[in-house]
Amino acid sequence: MLGRLTYDSLPFYSIIAFGGAAITVGAGLAVIGLITWFRLWGWLWKNYLTTLDHKRIGIMYIVVALVMLVRGFIDALMMRGQQMASASGHGFLEGDHFQQVFSAHGTIMIFFMATPFMAGLVNFVLPLQLGARDVAFPFMNALSFWLTAGAAGLVLISLVIGVFSTAGWVGYPPYSGVERNPGVGVDYWVWALFISGFATTMTGINFVVTILKHRAPGMAYMRMPIFVWTVLCSSLIILIAFPALTVAVALLGLDRLFLTHFFTADHGGNLMNFTNLFWMWGHPEVYLLVLPAFGVFSEVVATFSGKKIYGYSAMVKATVIIMFVSMLVWLHHFFTMGASATVNAVFGIATMIIGVPTGLKIFNWMFTMYRGRVRFHVSMYWTLGFMVLFVIGGATGVMHAIVPVDYNTHNTAFLVAHFHNMLVPGVLFGYVAGYMYWFPKAFGFTLNQKWGIRAFWGWAIGFTLAFMPLYALGLMGLPRRTANIYDPSFLPLLIVAFIGALCVLFGIVALLVQLYVSVRDRAQNRDLTGDPWDGRSLEWSIPSPPPAFNFARIPIVDQLDAFAEAKRAGRKLQYEPAGPVDLPVPTIVPMVMGVSAFLLGFAAIWYMWWLFVLSFLVMLGAMIGRSFVDHNEFRVPQREVEAGLRTAAGRAGGVQ
């Protein structure tokens, strides 16, 4: 009945693993206890657990991302500590346990921190910038979130029951094959990625259709905010790249479960097919994450420089070029596999080319600030820090595009430093800047600036100390993915890297303290008759926080930055005639399907086929049941719409 789940599946093999499991379970019980103590279950049920409102779904995405950020960073801290300790002869992680930690860190940070963070910001902001009342498919939006949460749950429960993959976050065969890795670890990885892959693909479909079909009247493509352009290009990348990953992990799962041998070289398979499929997703993934962050930086720089973004048309073209070229560089992830010089040269040149539109964006942000009225809001700190650190990462990326250089640095800590140099400043700094920029729009009060700046310096200094030494260590010959380091000459730089990780820990704690202090002091921050700044896009023309229906009347856009230009000229925005406002009915179905997807994956991992069939039937029944239930939109009472009109009066140069 329990399949291969036994007493030995509990984490008694290591005191560290047991401690991690105890902390995970304790944290979960503490959250449940606090919600029960403060009697929040009813409020959560009504406002979040059953919601189809894009704004609240976006907030839930960001909560998941921040939780997984803490979880993934603990893994990073353990890896840095293990490498430092092993160089002095006193490591504390066994080889397989280190590989679990390494695999979980990469998987969490890419799939369950960065991707949900992106989806959360876009969910909240996109319809507001488009002048829409919601995304195109609200039910699909909620289903995408709950599937993502269910997949994240599989990664978290692997800490408590069983083990996680030891095949790395990329899961290359034969290391992930059933012959070399017969346990449940790779299965946890496969099912978590399979479920989250479906969720992210649906999210991409939703965002593309929303942008194409739900723009405000008059919002032509070249009148869309830069952030919307970056989301459109990012979503198109999702539609092309994520199916490749979903197919790859599905075929790997079939290899493991039914011995189909798609990737088993000894039985006629080709393991390089998995590598190609994975990186056909893997490199575009970098850009589908970084492009929305670029959009955030554009919004922040324009707002806090008091100017239009410099070179709007060039920024749009650069974004589209990055989207196309991002799909043509995946092979640079395995230059060392033995491809011909011609193949390597083509992909090396493409890798260099993609740096050109990216560099253009850097210059455009600098020219936007030039002669502007620059205000150093905390989100500007994250933006300026990104510009400095990201350029360093881009330069080392061009070094890797030179194939002979890559041959010598590919499997070293130099490469680890490079891709963190792209993802931490380029992605995480952007999302944190967006979180701080739009926080008052979401909740109606500002975040504490002092703690936000302290968090920035913790991250900026910590990142520099943690990863710049890895460039040197890589050139000295330190291999990546190494649990035990026996050369004491590496120790001084490893100590510096560990100190950097501790500084980043301070940055994470400062973010949590900032949120606590801001909520504690919200009473004095809540009076927002005007926001602390006037953004340039339509989301700033409505109250903070926005009403459930977003816009009491839909605005008419007659130019780029229509809201900012109306404020500057002292005139009114134009609006469509008032009419009835309809919203989707809240439903429990997405949450039921998310929980069922979690149980389905868990059952498949442990061969509990009765639970697998039951979970599948529940998911099927929930979808069929929804089709027979009246889920038509409900009409917002006219008094609420009129209250929204009154609250929004004057924000856009006149009454909505």
Residue-wise pLDDT tens digits, 194-246:
999 999 999 999 999 999 999 999 999 999 999 999 999 999 999 999 999 99
Which pLDDT belongs to residue 634?
A: 76
> Domains in the chain and their CATH numbers?
40-88+97-587+631-647 (1.20.210.10)
Give the per-residue pLDDT at 654.
Answer: 41
The DSSP letter of residue 556 is: E
Helix (H) or strand (E) holding 555: strand 555-556
pLDDT at 527: 47
Element (H, E) at 541: none
- 528 has pLDDT over 50: no
Q: What is the per-residue pLDDT across 277-335, written as a single tens digit (0 to 9) for each?
A: 999 999 999 999 999 999 999 999 999 999 999 999 999 999 999 999 999 999 999 89
Q: What percent of the chain has pLDDT over 90?
A: 78
Residue 534 predicted with pLDDT over 80 = no
- Model confidence at 89: pLDDT above 90: no
- Please name the helix (run of DSSP H) or strand (run of DSSP E) that holds residue 634, with its range, or none: strand 634-635
Average pLDDT, the chain: 92
Find out whether 113 and 87 touch, Cβ atoms under 8 Å: no
pLDDT value at 532 more than 70: no
**Which pLDDT score is estimated for 646?**
66
DSSP for 579-612 reads ---EEPPP-SHHHHHHHHHHHHHHHHHHT-HHHH
Tokens of 26: 């304790």
Per-residue pLDDT band for 344 (boundaries 50, 70, 90) equals very high
> Closest by alpha carbon to 157, among 203, 192, 110?
192
Q: Which of 160, 49, 50, 154 is nearest to 112 (CA)?
A: 154
Name residue 479's beta-bridge partners.
412
pLDDT digits (tens, 9 = 90+) for 537-558: 899 988 888 998 888 889 999 8
Confidence of residue 647 (pLDDT cuts 50, 70, 90): low
In whole angstroms, what is the distance from residue 628 CA to residue 54 CA?
24
H-state helical runs in 88-184? 95-107, 115-130, 138-157
Tokens of 63: 């909560």
pLDDT tens by residue, 97-154 = 999 999 999 999 999 999 999 999 999 999 999 999 999 999 999 999 999 999 999 9
Do 234 and 287 contact (CB within 8 A), yes or no? yes
User: How many beta carbons lie within 10 A of that of residue 253, not counting itself?
Assistant: 19
Q: Closest Cα partner for 23 from 71, 95, 87, 78? A: 71
Gap between the Cα atoms of 348 and 329, Å rounded? 8
**What per-residue confidence (pLDDT) applies to 523?**
65
Q: CA 96: distance to chain centroid? A: 28
Nearest-angstrom CA–CA distance, 54 and 43: 17
Instruction: Extract the tokens encoding 175.
Output: 């290391």
18-48: per-residue pLDDT in tens? 998 999 999 999 999 999 999 999 999 999 9
Q: What is the pLDDT of residue 648?
A: 59
Segment (H or E) for 230: helix 226-258
**Averaged pLDDT for residues 400-415:** 94
DSSP character for 479? B
* Helices and strands in the chain: count of H runs, count of E runs: 23, 4
Question: Tell me: the pLDDT tens digits for 250-260?
Answer: 999 999 999 99
Nearest one of 493, 326, 503 to 422, comparing CA atoms: 326
Q: What percent of the chain has pLDDT over 70?
A: 96
Q: Binning pLDDT at 50, 70 and 90, where does residue 656 land? A: very low
Tell me how crowded residue 513 is: count the other CB atoms within 10 A of its CB.
Answer: 15
Weakest mean pLDDT among 160-164, 358-362, 408-412, 634-638: 634-638
* 391 pLDDT more than 70: yes
Average pLDDT over every residue of 613-618 = 97
SS3 sequence, 76-114? HHHHHHHHHHHHCCCCCCCHHHHHHHHHHHHHHHHHHHH
**523-to-227, 451, 516, 519 alpha-carbon distances in Å:** 31, 18, 13, 8
Question: Residues 598-612: what's their mean pLDDT?
Answer: 96
Rounded to an integer, the average pLDDT of 81-110 is: 92
pLDDT band at 88 (very low <50, low <70, confident <90, very high): confident
| CA 121 – CA 300 distance, rounded (Å) | 14
